């Protein structure tokens, strides 16, 4: 059970970080200042921050026209939902 709490805390934290990064990058894009590399935004998404990244993309209307971001978001969200389903199934069963 302790491992489950650690995983939950990790996913909450990484999704919050992803949301903040997408917001900061949008502000920097509008101001024309130094940007967060796309590689970093994608890596945070794949590292578990996919739902925060998607929320950031929609909320800030940022990177929503980039096919690479959409594809990675869809694949990552399917992967993490499957992992969550397996964890929930094993915990309940």
How would you write the pLDDT of the chain (93 residues) with one tens digit per residue?
688 889 899 999 999 999 999 999 999 999 999 999 999 999 999 999 999 999 999 999 999 999 999 999 999 999 999 998 998 888 887
pTM: 0.90
- pLDDT value, residue 3: 82
Please provide the size of the chain in residues.
93
Please tell me the predicted confidence (pLDDT) of residue 1. 62
């Amino acid at each position: 059970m302790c491992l489950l709490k650690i995983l939950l805390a990790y996913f909450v934290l990484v999704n919050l970080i992803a949301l903040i990064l997408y917001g900061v990058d949008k502000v920097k894009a509008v101001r024309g200042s130094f940007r967060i590399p796309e590689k970093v935004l994608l890596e945070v998404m794949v590292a578990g921050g996919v739902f925060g990244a998607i929320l950031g993309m929609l909320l800030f209307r940022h990177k929503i026209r980039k096919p690479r971001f959409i594809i990675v978001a869809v694949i990552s969200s399917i992967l993490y939902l499957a992992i969550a389903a397996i964890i929930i199934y094993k915990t309940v069963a």
